[in-house]
């Protein structure tokens, strides 16, 4: 599992240091503070480190996941104020093994030192739902030079992985039942098309509510072994397309996955999700929040870690509710002097 | 003039008259509920209800239960309708029949001593209190309206620096 990250002059970050927990790591912060960049960075490097043939290099995977102009990874290095790019350096710890990346400046090469062993296939669930677009997407992606970030093609590949043989163990079965009750059915794949199957028959996935499709995808990933002990889940904005009342289920699913040994990285803007996570979490599972923010007089995005919701600082989501509460009170009581 | 309920004390400085208006005093508790304090200012009349599940006098063993119980009550529409709004309406009725309802703007203020309530929860509680109390808007047939507010200690002190509220730990 990932244990620590140091990033210098990488995209929005000037000098970033983070220590991760084995359970759930949550990135919060305003738009443009680099939450998705962190998810993509770790995902790309883990993906390229699997013990498989024909994998792209870390540099190639970074280019396919971030899609910088003309595939130039040096464009991911922080820009200098007078033009051009700095030299970026990334150090990422997978337990005791360290991988170092250096790129940027004038060169186009990515220098890599170190490697990780026994790395699983990472799962990245993007903000956009992809299950409904799966038919035909892979052939288009492999044939044409498109600007689709590779996370979309990767998640579709994982959705098409055949289901594991045999019955799932008790905990996974419990998890699947929770998801099944929320999405009201089981996802099945016929040819390239996905359907939601229930007692009444099969419903095309395109006719299922968009938010539900992502939960349906999760159940597929659990049933085909993509999400099991030792794997990593990156999920960008799990709240997208879901009513806040669904966050209790999302939090429960993620906490159970964490308990099963999946290391989880989340980027979120959702108060409901954060509160649910905090209210439902058991002390045995580690949860760490990372508040990403810019501060006057400091270059690049800063980070402060917190091990409980109340300690998140700054907390823009809470601040927004305070602003709204103040506005409502002003309506009743007038403005404060 | 200082009034206290549990271990929260409010110093209503410059008030014309401030009084505790509890059940025992008005003698109609068999049929009417009552707010905790009445504060008659030069320009308006405040009806103040104080809820303090974190009261220091509550033994530590029971405090978690008290807080949990109150949080649970706050999550129900019935609490806003049958407890908080009812106290407000019954108090107005009582004052009217007692010919003590002045022709001044009315403010119903619920003050809550619950540190775990964040702004999102306070905002939600304010909306629900307004709904339960009727929240008269311009265009309603009534000639006089009233306003309601749901505050914690910090917000009270920010809004009303002339009558500071504090926890008196004894």
Quick one: closest CA in A to B157, which residue?
A: A336
pLDDT band at A149 (very low <50, low <70, confident <90, very high): very high
Long-range contacts, stretch B118-123, CB < 8 angstroms, 24+ apart = B118/A318, B118/A321, B119/A318, B119/A321, B119/A322, B119/A324, B119/A325, B120/A271, B120/A275, B120/A318, B120/A321, B120/A325, B121/B74, B122/A325, B122/B150, B122/B151, B122/B152, B122/B155, B123/A321, B123/A324, B123/A325, B123/A328
Same domain for A24 and A150, yes or no, is no
Interface check for B34 against chain A (CB to CB < 8 A): the answer is: no
Q: Alpha-carbon distance A228 to A166, whole Å? A: 15
Q: Are strands A232-236 and A263-267 parallel, antiparallel or unpaired?
A: parallel
Annotated domain spans of chain B: 2-167
CB-CB neighbors (< 8 A) of A332 in chain B: 126, 147-149
The total number of structural domains in chain A stands at 2
A92 vs B68, higher pLDDT: A92
Nearest beta carbon to residue B123 from set A275, A321, A332 = A321
User: Would you say residue A337 has pLDDT above 60?
Assistant: no
Domain end residue (candidates: A228, A256, A273): A228
B124 vs A82, higher pLDDT: B124
Candidates A57, A63, A60; CA nearest to A115 is A57
Q: A332 and B148: CB-CB below 8 Å? A: yes
**Residues linked to residue A8 through DSSP beta bridges, in sequence order:** A15, A89
User: Would you say residue A59 has pLDDT above 60?
Assistant: yes
**Residue A283 pLDDT:** 77
Same domain for A40 and A153, yes or no, is no
Same domain for A236 and A103, yes or no, is yes
Q: Alpha-carbon distance B92 to B136, whole Å? A: 15
In this predicted structure, which of A84-98, A114-128, A315-329, B123-137 has the lowest mean pLDDT?
B123-137
Q: A322 and B119: CB-CB below 8 Å? A: yes
User: Would you say residue B170 has pLDDT above 60?
Assistant: no
CA distance A269 to chain B (A): 14
Interface check for A313 against chain B (CB to CB < 8 A): the answer is: no
Q: Alpha-carbon distance A127 to A240, whole Å? A: 6
**Residue A106 pLDDT:** 80
pLDDT digits (tens, 9 = 90+) for B12-71: 999 999 999 876 677 888 888 999 999 999 999 999 999 998 887 788 888 888 888 898
For the segment B141-168, the average pLDDT, to the nearest whole number, is: 90
pLDDT band at A336 (very low <50, low <70, confident <90, very high): low
| Candidates A310, A313, A333, A336, partner chain B, best to mutate (most B CBs within 10 A) | A333
User: Would you say residue B88 has pLDDT above 90?
Assistant: yes
**Residue A199 pLDDT:** 87
Tell me the residue range of the domain where A319 lies: 1-122+231-337
CB-CB neighbors (< 8 A) of B126 in chain A: 325, 328-329, 332
Q: A318 and B119: CB-CB below 8 Å? A: yes
Same domain for A254 and A198, yes or no, is no
Q: A321 and B159: CB-CB below 8 Å? A: no
CB atoms within 10 A of CB A80: 12
How many CB pairs below 8 Å do chains A and B form together? 35
Interface check for A173 against chain B (CB to CB < 8 A): the answer is: no
CB-CB neighbors (< 8 A) of A275 in chain B: 120
User: Would you say residue A293 has pLDDT above 70?
Assistant: yes
Interface check for B162 against chain A (CB to CB < 8 A): the answer is: no
CB-CB neighbors (< 8 A) of B151 in chain A: 329
If you average pLDDT over every residue of chain B, what do you get?
Answer: 89
User: Would you say residue A333 has pLDDT above 70?
Assistant: yes
Same domain for A186 and A41, yes or no, is no
Angle A150-159/A58-66 helices, nearest 10 degrees?
100
Domain end residue (candidates: A190, A211, A228): A228
Q: A318 and B118: CB-CB below 8 Å? A: yes
CB-CB neighbors (< 8 A) of A315 in chain B: none
Nearest beta carbon to residue B159 from set A275, A324, A333 = A333
**Residue B31 pLDDT:** 87
Same domain for A31 and A86, yes or no, is yes
Interface check for A13 against chain B (CB to CB < 8 A): the answer is: no
User: What percentage of chain B exceeds 90 in pLDDT?
Assistant: 57
pLDDT digits (tens, 9 = 90+) for A250-289: 999 999 999 999 999 999 999 999 999 999 998 788 999 9
> Does ipTM surpass 0.85 in this model?
no
Same domain for A61 and A117, yes or no, is yes
Long-range contacts, stretch A173-177, CB < 8 angstroms, 24+ apart = A174/A256, A175/A222, A175/A253, A175/A256, A175/A257, A175/A260, A176/A219, A176/A222, A176/A223
Same domain for A44 and A59, yes or no, is yes
**Residue B68 pLDDT:** 87
Could you tell me the pTM of the whole model? Answer: 0.89
User: What percentage of chain B exceeds 70 in pLDDT?
Assistant: 97
**Residue B145 pLDDT:** 81
For the segment A298-305, the average pLDDT, to the nearest whole number, is: 96
Same domain for A84 and A214, yes or no, is no
pLDDT band at A82 (very low <50, low <70, confident <90, very high): confident
Same domain for A11 and A143, yes or no, is no
Q: Look up residue A85 and give its DSSP letter.
A: B
Same domain for A271 and A188, yes or no, is no
**Residue A181 pLDDT:** 92
Q: A329 and B151: CB-CB below 8 Å? A: yes
CA distance B15 to chain A (A): 17
CB A46 within 8 A of CB A119: yes
If you average pLDDT over every residue of chain A, what do you get?
Answer: 94
pLDDT digits (tens, 9 = 90+) for A170-188: 888 999 999 999 999 999 9
Domain end residue (candidates: A182, A197, A228): A228
**Residue A194 pLDDT:** 95
User: Would you say residue A98 has pLDDT above 90?
Assistant: yes
User: What percentage of chain A exceeds 90 in pLDDT?
Assistant: 85
Long-range contacts, stretch B63-71, CB < 8 angstroms, 24+ apart = B67/B114, B67/B116, B70/B114, B71/B114, B71/B116
- The domain that contains A59 carries what CATH number? 3.40.50.300
Nearest beta carbon to residue B147 from set A321, A322, A332 = A332
Same domain for A97 and A152, yes or no, is no
Candidates A136, A219, A126; CA nearest to A173 is A219
């Amino acid at each position: 599992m990932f244990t620590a990250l140091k990033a210098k002059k990488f995209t929005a970050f000037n000098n970033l240091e983070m220590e991760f927990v084995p359970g759930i790591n949550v990135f919060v912060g305003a738009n443009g503070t680099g939450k998705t960049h962190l998810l993509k960075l770790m995902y790309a490097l883990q993906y390229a480190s699997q013990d498989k043939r024909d994998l792209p290099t870390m540099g190639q995977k970074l280019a396919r996941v971030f899609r910088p102009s003309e595939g130039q990874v040096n464009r991911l290095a922080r820009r200098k104020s007078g033009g051009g790019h700095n030299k970026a350096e990334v150090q990422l710890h997978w337990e005791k093994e360290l991988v170092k990346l250096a790129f940027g400046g004038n060169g186009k090469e990515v220098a890599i030192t170190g490697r990780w062993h026994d790395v699983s296939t990472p799962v990245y669930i993007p903000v956009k739902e992809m299950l409904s677009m799966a038919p035909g997407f892979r052939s288009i992606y492999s044939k044409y030079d498109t600007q689709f970030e590779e996370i979309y093609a990767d998640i579709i590949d994982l959705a098409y992985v055949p289901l594991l043989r045999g019955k799932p163990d008790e905990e996974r079965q419990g998890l699947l039942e929770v998801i099944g009750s929320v999405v009201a059915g089981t996802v099945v794949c016929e040819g390239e098309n996905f359907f939601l199957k229930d007692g009444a028959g099969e419903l095309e996935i395109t006719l299922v509510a968009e938010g539900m499709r992502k939960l349906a995808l999760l159940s597929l990933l659990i049933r085909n072994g993509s999400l099991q002990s030792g794997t990593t889940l990156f999920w960008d904005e799990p709240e997208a397309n879901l009513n806040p009342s669904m966050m209790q289920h999302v939090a429960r699913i993620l906490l159970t996955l964490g308990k099963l040994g999946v290391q989880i990285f989340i980027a979120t803007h959702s108060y409901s999700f954060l509160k649910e996570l905090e209210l439902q979490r058991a002390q045995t599972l580690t949860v760490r929040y990372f508040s990403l923010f810019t501060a006057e007089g400091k270059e690049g995005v800063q980070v402060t870690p917190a091990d409980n919701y109340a300690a998140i600082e700054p907390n823009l989501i809470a601040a927004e509710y305070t602003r709204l509460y103040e506005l409502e009170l002003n309506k009743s009581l007038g403005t404060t002097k | 003039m200082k009034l206290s309920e549990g271990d929260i004390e409010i110093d209503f400085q410059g008030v014309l008259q401030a009084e505790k208006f509890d059940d025992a005093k008005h003698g109609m508790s068999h049929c009417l509920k009552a707010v905790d304090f009445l504060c008659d200012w030069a320009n308006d009349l405040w009806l103040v209800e104080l809820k303090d599940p974190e009261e220091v006098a509550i033994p530590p063993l029971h405090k978690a239960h008290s807080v949990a119980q109150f949080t649970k009550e706050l999550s129900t529409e019935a609490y806003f309708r049958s407890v908080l709004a009812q106290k407000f309406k019954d108090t107005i009725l009582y004052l009217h029949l007692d010919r003590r309802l002045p022709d001044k703007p009315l403010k119903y203020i619920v003050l809550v001593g619950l540190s775990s309530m964040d702004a999102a929860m306070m905002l939600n509680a304010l909306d629900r209190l307004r709904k339960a109390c009727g929240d008269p808007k311009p265009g309603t047939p009534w000639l006089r309206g009233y306003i309601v507010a749901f505050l914690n200690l910090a917000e009270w002190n920010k809004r009303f620096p002339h009558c500071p509220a504090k926890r008196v730990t004894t």
